[in-house]
Structure 1
Amino acid sequence: MPDKGLIDTLNALWGGALTTLIAALMGRLMYHSGEVKARRRRFFGREILWELPVAVGMAIIGEALSRYLGLESPVSTGLVAALAYLGPRGAEAMIERLLRGRSAG
């Protein structure tokens, strides 16, 4: 029997929805930690409360995009974490660059 990875184990224990939310929270925590390291935020400041709705929103968007693209579980979870790290502004900038690149070619 092949070894299961972390994402498969989380899916088995808690289900896909909670795994997706954990991935989004980890993505936002990575972004927040970078801001703390750059001394633009305190770790336990008010800003961390604003990260929660962003994480939930990006989890919903990431899960919808994963379904649309037909991605399987580990890749889907990685996409959610990456989108959560980027946040709404980062995702918007990435989409604009992709669309600009397509229209130029």
Structure 2
Amino acid sequence: MNEGFSLVGFLDSWLGGAATTLIGAAMGRLMYHSLETKKGKRRFFGKELIWEIPICIGMALIGDSVAVYLELSRPVSVGVIAALAYLGPRGAEVILMNWLSRKAK
């Protein structure tokens, strides 16, 4: 597949892979933050938004590692990064524990 004609391919060539990874993670965290805002649990421009930065960076690293381990193409890996960033550390922990418990059987 020619990745140059996708949004991820464009961002990769224009900004580089690290920036694309961080943008994917930031979009995942922004989706989660927006949902929490819609539920009334947070203000959109509140102090909680600052705490999303380290979570975003950490989930970008975790998501990129998972994508490399699974040997995913670049556009798919950015989607995995965004999905894992949306789930956050607790969601990723639940997925990992379920996967490990299935693998142990």
TM score, norm. by length of structure 1: 0.91
Q: Which residue of 2 aligns with 1:52?
A: 53
Q: Aligned letter for 1:79?
A: V
Q: What's the secondary structure of 1:43's corresponding residue?
A: coil
Instruction: Give the total of aligned pairs.
Output: 104
- Mapped partners of 2:88, 2:62: distance in 1: 11
Q: Which residue of 1 aligns with 2:5?
A: 4
Q: Aligned letter for 1:37?
A: K
Q: Which residue of 2 aligns with 1:68?
A: 69
Q: What's the secondary structure of 2:60's corresponding residue?
A: helix
Q: Which runs of 5+ in 1 are unaligned?
A: none
TM score, norm. by length of structure 2: 0.91
The share of aligned pairs that are identical, in percent, is 52
Alpha-carbon offset, residue 34 of structure 1: 0.4
Q: Deviation per CA, 1:20-78, whole angstroms, max 9, x where unpaired?
A: 00000000000000000000000000000000110000001111111111111001100
- Mapped partners of 1:92, 1:24: distance in 2: 17
Q: Which residue of 2 aligns with 1:86?
A: 87
- Mapped partners of 1:62, 1:22: distance in 2: 12
What does 1:11-30 align with in structure 2 at a 5 Å threshold? 11-30=12-31
Q: Residues 39 and 2 (structure 1 numbering): CA distance in 2 closer, same or farther, change over 3 Å? A: closer
The two structures, once aligned, show a CA RMSD in angstroms of: 1.8
- Mapped partners of 2:84, 2:46: distance in 1: 23
